[in-house]
Amino acid sequence: MARPAARKAALGGPIDWPQTLAARRGDVLQVRHVRRRAVQPANGALHCFLLDCSASMRTSGALAQAKGLLLNLMDEAYRHRDRVALLCFAGGSVEMRLSPRRAAVWNEDWLAPIGGGGGTPLALGVTAAGELLRRQKAGRRSLWLLTDGRTRENPPAPVSADELHVLDFESSRFPFARAAQLAADWGASYTRYDAIDVAE
């Protein structure tokens, strides 16, 4: 049985004629036969991607891998009509590369210039992402952290995020495993990059 919110959303959608005609089963078409498509929320979900562009990510090749995965995630957001934002952190700064907006198909154009280098100001990046999410009042807010975890910083989870995802790109023979620990501390979902089928 559909939840009340789902039923309410369906009421305002356009008529789904194939389902409507199938529902009448040869009878005279009546109001009770009408089926409607669900309406997409006006604002949709917001996916804030926080990309680690530090020297360790660049030299290991993880930054290039993260960019490729990020494109896949952006494509998925586009299919769901969600909004996206991108923050990059490295050295001692955080840069907003994409302010919150509806996901588009031209993501590779602005992903290509993203460089990398310097340290890993994780706390600064998480704080900036939390503030960005806090300002978005409508829709479900998700934070996606793409990092190798090569830092001693252990910032608290941003309370403004409804969902937290940590994607671990560490590939060292002697891993720090800090991304996994951060995910555990945050209560976030945790995925290693080498466990992801990017071709899906």
Selected residue with higher pLDDT from 79 and 185: 185
How far apart are alpha carbons 193 and 200 in whole angstroms?
13
| 18 CB-near residues (< 8 Å, 6+ apart) | none
Query: pLDDT tens digit string along 97-147?
Result: 999 998 887 656 667 777 788 889 999 999 999 999 999 987 899 999 999
What's the whole-model pTM score?
0.77
Distance CA 157, CA 127 (A): 9
Q: How confident is the model at residue 1 (pLDDT cuts 50, 70, 90)?
A: very low
- Domain coordinates in residue numbering, the chain: 4-33, 46-195
**Burial call 2-19: b when 16+ CB within 10 Å, e when fewer:** eeeeeeebeeeeeebeee
Q: Which residue has the higher pLDDT, 43 or 154?
A: 154
How far from chain centre, in Å, is Cα 28?
A: 46
Predicted confidence at residue 18, as pLDDT, reads 60
- CATH fold of the domain at 46-195: Rossmann fold (3.40.50)
pLDDT value at residue 9: 36
Residue 171: pLDDT over 50: yes
